[in-house]
A = this chain, B = another copy of it.
Amino acid sequence: MSREDPDVIDSVEKAFRLLQAFSAEHPTVTVSEAAQLTGLTRATARRILLTFTRLGFAESTGREFRLTPHVLRLGYGYLNSQPVAERAQPHMRALADKLLESCSMATLDASEIVYLARVPAARSMSITLSVGSRLPAYPTSMGRVLLAALPPERLQAYLDGVELRKLTPRTIDDAEALRAELERVRQQGYAVVDGEREEGVRSAAAPVRDASGAVIAAINVSANAARVSLESLREEFVPHLVATADAVSRDIGFDGARAVS
């Protein structure tokens, strides 16, 4: 993880690295644990944790440090500059209510999708993915929609770099087969994924476009395969989903009348 790029301020890289060491498994860390999790020296880890504490981003109870809600400020500038997440929420809520299934929005970050918004199904009592959650792009419907919109050279870079793992027996794990599927997604304007990331989960996704016509996010509907057949996903869900994604696009300034390649 150590870098020698002269344009990177070393202590900033290390601070960001340490900040990301906190997780569900490590809600609190000691100086030693922080050093171990990040590969930093104990002295550096200690100084960074003290900096976080002085700036209000962490608090310590004796030897243990934990993050404070102050850290949400760091990602908030991004969310705030993406009005799509807030604009989409009521549309997503209406879709989730109509289809009685959960509805999510995500964007692409390198090889992963990142959830920007989520509306759980009305009846669901399950604990689910929420804002900031990440999944690999290739086996997910939202990932396929977002990958399908990449310019050819960026898609090629993705395919060159990604490790396609067979997460279920159905996962497309061949780069050329994935490229063909992405071309189909691009042409039909939506993606359908049937149990490729997790068996028994089907989902469909459609693109959200900004005023320039660029695909900036995807919205999906995800359902239990035991409850929703592939046919009803395609024939009943997809039209509503595409209409919802289009409504969100119009809401953020996309003029649907203009042709989009």
Contact = CB atoms under 8 A, between A and B. Distances in A.
Contacts of A87: 127
A114 interface: yes
Interface string A13-30: 101100111111011100
Interface in A100-118: 107-110, 114, 116-117
Nearest to A251: B127
B55 A16 contact: yes
Contacts of A107: 69
B15 A9 contact: yes
**A interface, by DSSP: helix, strand, loop or mixed?**
mixed
Interface magnitude class on chain A: 35 or more
Contact of A127 (B73, B79, B90, B127): B90
Nearest to A74: B74
Contacts of A116: 69
A120 B90 contact: yes
Contact of A75 (B23, B26, B75): B75
Interface string A70-87: 111111111111110111
A89 B130 contact: yes
B78 A68 contact: yes
Interface stretch (A46-54, A174-182, A186-194, A224-232): A46-54
A19 B12 CA distance: 11
A132 interface: yes
Interface of A: 3, 5, 7-9, 11-13, 15-16, 19-24, 26-28, 47-48, 50-51, 54-57, 66-83, 85-87, 89-90, 93, 97, 107-110, 114, 116-117, 119-120, 122, 124-128, 130-133
